Amino acid sequence: MSEVIATVSIRAPRSGPGVEVCFEFPATGETVYLPLPDRRALEAMRRKAGEYLRRVVPLVARLNATTEQAATALRILLNAGRELTGMLIPDDIARFLRLESAFRAAWPLWQAAQWDDPHRPLPMIELHCRDETLPLELLPLFDFGSLPPLRTYDDLVRAASRFLGFATVVRRVVPARATADSVLRNEPALPVQFLRHRELGSARDEERFLASLGAHVQVEGPWPVSQDEEAVRTSLLRALYDGAPLDGGPGDGVPVQVQHFACHCDTSAEFDDDYALVLSTRNGKTRRVTFGELREGYYDRFFADRSTAGHRAVIILNACASSRTNPLTAYSFPRWFLNHGHRAFIGTETDVPDGVAGGFAAAFYGRLLEARRPLGEAVVWARRDLLRDFRNPLGLLYVMYGDTQLTVERARPGIYRASAGRAA
C-alpha cells in the first residue's frame, strides 16, 4: 500500500468568502492553506494547464525524442508548473517556498528514489475533489528552482522528479461507490474489450501490442464491426453497463475487467450532452456515441433493474482530450463513469500524438502485468518508461481517477521489457 504523503482538498474557507486549497501532510503535521477569491481561479488554472500542454506536445510529438528535445520540454513544463502554482499563490514567494519545503519534508527521498526499482512502493497524494480537480501532476512542488544543463538520462530523471506526476501516485478521490475489493481478475487471462477508430495509428499499434500478449490477455475486438449505427450504440451501452460481449452474445468466464478505447473523443461542445466518443467500423465508417446517449442508456437500465449492485470495468480512454473537464458543468467523462460504478478511469489532459499513445499503452499494460503493480503505480511507471526508453515526457498527459490500488491476481513475468538499458 502506498504511503500517503499529502492530502489536497478544495473547500470553503475557514472564514470569509471564496474557496481555499488545503495541503495537509500527515507525516509532519504541517498544513498549508491557499485562499482564493472564488472558484473561477480553479477553472482558469485548468484552462491554462491545457494550453501549456498543447504548447509542449509539438516539441516531442514523435514517440522517439532526443535528450535535447526532452530537456526543452521539461524546461517549458517547469515554467508552466510554476505559473500554475502561482495561480494558487498569487505573488506570494514565501508561500511558494513553504509549499516546496513541506513537500520535501513529507518525502525526503524525492530526488534519491530509484526509478529502476519497480518493486518499491511509490508515495501517494490524495486529491479530494467533488466539482473541481487540479492538474497536480504538472506541478514541480519538490523543486521550483531553475534547471541545470540536461545532457544525460540521469539529468532528465533528476529534473522530472520535481513533478508530482513522475514522483508520486495522484489519487483523485471523487464521490463514487466503494469497490468490493481491489482485484483485477486475470486468471486465466485479463479480459479486455478493445474499441477503436481504425484510422488512428495508435489504435493499430495498441491492437498489435495487446495481441502480442497472447494467452495473458483475452482481447475482444477490435470493435465495432457492425455497420448499423443503432446496433453499435446498443451494443456499446450493454457492454459498458453489464460487461456483456460486444457482439451481443451471452457472457461466460471472467467478466470484462478493462474497456480500452483507442478512438477520437470530442469534448469541444458547449454542453457535455454533446461530448462524443468517435469510433469507426472495420471499413472505416464513423460511429459517434454522445455523452447524452450514454447517460440515457444507463438511466434506462438503472430504473429497469432497480439495482446499484456490481462494479463495472476500468475505462481507459486513450483519446483526444479524454479527461478534460468542461468548466461550464460539474461533470466530465471520468467523474461520470466512476459515479456509475466503473472502478477507475485513465485518460489524457489534451491531444496525444499517436506514437505516444501506443507507447504509453504498451508500458502501462506491461507494468500492470509484469510485476503486479497497482493501477496507480502502473500509470507512473509508464510515464517513467516513456522518458527512459524514448526520452519522451508526455506521459504526464495521462491522469487517473478511481481505485489506484487495483492489482491483477497473478503476475505475468517476462511479457514486458521492464528493465531496459538506458542511453546517455
Q: What is the pLDDT of residues 146-190, one digit of tens each?
A: 999 999 999 999 999 999 999 999 998 876 666 668 999 999 999
> What pLDDT is stored for residue 178 in this prediction?
62
Q: Are residues 33 and 101 in the same domain?
A: yes
Q: Are residues 141 and 63 in the same domain?
A: yes
Lookup: cell for 247 = 457482439
From 119, 152, 173, give the residue that closes a domain.
Answer: 173
> What pLDDT is stored for residue 321 in this prediction?
58
> What pLDDT is stored for residue 113 in this prediction?
66
Decide if 300 is inside a domain.
Answer: yes
- Amino acid, single-letter form, for residue 325: T
> What pLDDT is stored for residue 38 in this prediction?
87
Q: Are residues 271 and 328 in the same domain?
A: yes
Which residue segment(s) compose the domain that 333 sits in?
183-406
Q: Please report, for residues 294, 361, 373, 379, the alpha-carbon distance to residue 365 in angstroms, rounded to integers and kept in the order given.
A: 27, 6, 10, 9
The HSE-up count of residue 210 (CA atoms within 13 Å, CB side) is 27
Lookup: cell for 236 = 456499446
Q: Are residues 241 and 360 in the same domain?
A: yes
Decide if 178 is inside a domain.
Answer: no
Decide if 421 is inside a domain.
Answer: no
Decide if 314 is inside a domain.
Answer: yes
> What pLDDT is stored for residue 328 in this prediction?
44
Decide if 417 is inside a domain.
Answer: no
From 144, 173, 202, give the residue that closes a domain.
Answer: 173
Q: Are residues 258 and 360 in the same domain?
A: yes
Decide if 384 is inside a domain.
Answer: yes
Q: Are residues 150 and 222 in the same domain?
A: no
Decide if 111 is inside a domain.
Answer: yes
CA atoms 352, 353, 354, 356: torsion sign: negative
Q: Are residues 154 and 275 in the same domain?
A: no
Structural domains counted in the chain: 2
Residue ranges of the chain with per-residue pLDDT less than 70: 1, 113, 118, 131, 175-180, 251, 308-310, 320-331, 418-424
Q: Are residues 216 and 354 in the same domain?
A: yes
> What pLDDT is stored for residue 1 in this prediction?
67
Decide if 418 is inside a domain.
Answer: no
Q: Are residues 149 and 29 in the same domain?
A: yes
Cα 175 to Cα 152: distance, rounded to the nearest angstrom: 43
Neighbours of 286 (CB within 10 A): 12
pTM: 0.93
Q: Are residues 196 and 169 in the same domain?
A: no
Q: Are residues 141 and 194 in the same domain?
A: no
Residues forming beta bridges with residue 317, ordered by sequence position:
261
Cα 317 to Cα 319: distance, rounded to the nearest angstrom: 5
Q: Are residues 165 and 206 in the same domain?
A: no
From 173, 194, 215, give the residue that closes a domain.
Answer: 173
**CATH number, domain containing residue 366:** 3.40.50
> What pLDDT is stored for residue 249 in this prediction?
74
